[in-house]
Amino acid sequence: MAYEMFRSAPETNAAWAALPAAVRDGVARCDAERLEVERSRVAPELRERITSPVYSVAERFASWERVVRRLEPGWVSDDFYPISAYENDLDSRDSLGQLMKGQLAEAQEGALGRLLSQLDERFVAATVPDPEHALRAWVRPTRTRPEAELGLWWKRRPVRYPWD
């Protein structure tokens, strides 16, 4: 499947192409639930115009891949990437973890689970621990949780800031 969302996300594109039918069905269920959430947030006259979720499972994976690629050495881009986008990407990574532990648990051992693990490993390689929370003034977890419950992505900072 060639989705525009896979632009600059080749690993996600490859994983998506190889998904077994059972995982595709699980993803479709997640996306249908997300679509209803997104529709519920707009005026009634606009609801039916929204036919697919902005924050689909595929988009969340592609988004995480794009931020990881952006952090890696050698990334060259002149796209505008504000620090607020980084915060959104970390929050999106939180939602991927929740999906993989919940509705897409059967996908953890397959291509999606491997992709998420590989992207997380690359994220760790492109970041350093941030015990001082140097970015917290700008990058804050959106859910109120104790620090110990936050994913490691909230506790690290990029070696090279992509918003410079």
pLDDT digits (tens, 9 = 90+) for 19-28: 999 899 999 9
CB 90 within 8 A of CB 153: yes
Q: Output the pTM of the full model.
A: 0.89
Distance, in Å, from the CA atom of 123 to the CA atom of 128, rounded to the nearest integer, reads: 9
User: Which letter does DSSP use for residue 42 in this model?
Assistant: S
Q: Grade residue 64 by pLDDT with cuts at 50, 70 and 90.
A: very high
Distance, in Å, from the CA atom of 12 to the CA atom of 27, rounded to the nearest integer, reads: 14
Q: How high does pLDDT run on average in the chain?
A: 88
Percent over 70 (pLDDT), the chain: 96
pLDDT (mean) for 104-121: 88
